[in-house]
Amino acid sequence: MKYDVCILGAGPAGLSAAFELQNSGARVILVERHTTPGSKACGGGLTADAMTAFSRMTADCASNDEALVSQLAFEPYQRLTVYSGGVGVPDFIHRLWCATAHTGNNDIGFLFSSRLRFRTAYMHVSSRVHWQSHLLKSLQNKGVRVLSGMRGIGFDRKSVVLSNGSSVHADFIVAADGSKSRCRRQLGLPSAVGAVCRQLRIPRSLAADAANAAPSVWFNHDLFGASYGWVFPYRHELRIGCGVPTELVHSAARLKSAFFSWLSHLNISWQQGKLEGGSIGSRYAGHRFGHIFLAGDAAGMASSVTGEGIGQAIISGAEVAREILQSNYRSSIIPALAIRHERTFGVLSQSRPGPALYRYAAPALRFPGVASLAIRKFS
């Protein structure tokens, strides 16, 4: 059977494109290399903008499936703890602040902490495996053909060669297959990877103090560069991770050393849980190449600054679907999103003022209006 569109990847971008296309009557086949989608090193938090995009994507299926609505329940967070510091903070400033970020040792320079509370939820969390699996099932129920445990390994004008040796014939291809997209490589584009990350997932019971606290972010330019560490409490587990821009990480050993130093600061052993690694696609080089479209991390839509890419993935998936459905439509939203994050990263990664902004992030966020502005700017 020939399809109108073959989508590679059942992540947020692929799902979003599939919903948009199927709702318009297109014949869609979705190819996912994992048997269970959503298993990647990811904090999994959805910002307010991401939740808006998610609600639009699921509006049609949720209105017809009350059981699905309950399965897609996200836990909202209004509190956030911010830690910051690093080498170069004068002693007198630290003494004036009269606080340390953690009750444990402070040998890697987390000197400041601020506890913030927002009027509305700034972030929602839910297991990606959970909600992606339910949305994938909903698409199958709507008539989308899903092939799990396969990947696209070759492409020509009208077909995709799959890893099992078969071929899928389609007029258009949407590559939403992650930051190391095979389709992107075949197009001859530079790598989309802009940051690499490490994450440890442990049962909440093994880190009760951190698990019962608000989500926290940790800024230390000496460890993480123009990025940060995160501690996100989920219902049954704690996710502790960090991302580092590729410009600042020249080896896996360096990232591992930074991450393990931070875990030691938190009095947590990596042997307590499941250690994960991954990459973040934040290098945009275009999204439309003839009959092939890139979306999500494959297009480089994630932010190198925050690592957040779910909202951008959902938006880009819907936008490329509209370009397919409307021959005269050209998305201005996708490049605008990419440029916005590139400019922000450009400022924060400079020798000045980048390190200072990260070093004094926690004290600065206590000033009225600064925290809300930061959330809007970087989400």
Alpha-carbon distance 241 to 3, whole Å? 40
3-state class (DSSP) for residue 237: strand
Tokens 């696209």, residue? 152
67-71, 96-100, 308-312 — which is least confidently predicted?
A: 96-100
pLDDT of residue 23: 93
This prediction has a pTM of: 0.87
3-state class (DSSP) for residue 25: coil
Alpha-carbon distance 161 to 182, whole Å? 12
Does 26 have pLDDT greater than 90?
yes
pLDDT digits (tens, 9 = 90+) for 321-360: 999 999 999 999 999 988 876 766 665 555 566 667 777 7
> Average pLDDT over the chain, rounded to whole?
82
127-131, 206-210, 275-279, 349-353 — which is least confidently predicted?
A: 349-353
Average pLDDT, integer, range 229-240: 88
Contact call for residues 241 and 41 (beta carbons, < 8 A): yes
**DSSP secondary-structure letter at 369?**
T
Tokens 């967070």, residue? 77
Q: Which residues lie across from 31 on neighbouring strands?
A: 8, 147
Q: Which residue has the higher pLDDT, 130 or 5?
A: 5
Alpha-carbon distance 258 to 252, whole Å? 10
pLDDT of residue 377: 57
Task: State residue 95 phi and psi, 5-degree precision.
Answer: -65, -35
Contact call for residues 120 and 78 (beta carbons, < 8 A): yes
Alpha-carbon distance 3 to 14, whole Å? 16
pLDDT of residue 102: 42
pLDDT digits (tens, 9 = 90+) for 211-234: 567 899 898 877 887 778 999 988
Q: Give yes or no for a cis peptide into 368 (omega within 30° of 0).
A: no
Alpha-carbon distance 174 to 183, whole Å? 9
- Would you state the torsion angle of the CA atoms of residues 264, 268, 272, 278, taken in this order, to the nearest 10 degrees? -70
pLDDT digits (tens, 9 = 90+) for 56-80: 888 766 555 555 555 667 888 999 9
Pair of tokens at residue 318: 């819907």
Relative orientation angle of helices 12-23 and 310-325, to the nearest 10 degrees: 30
Q: 227 Cβ partners below 8 Å, 6+ apart?
A: 195, 242, 243, 244, 245, 304, 305, 307
Q: Which residue has the higher pLDDT, 91 or 357?
A: 357
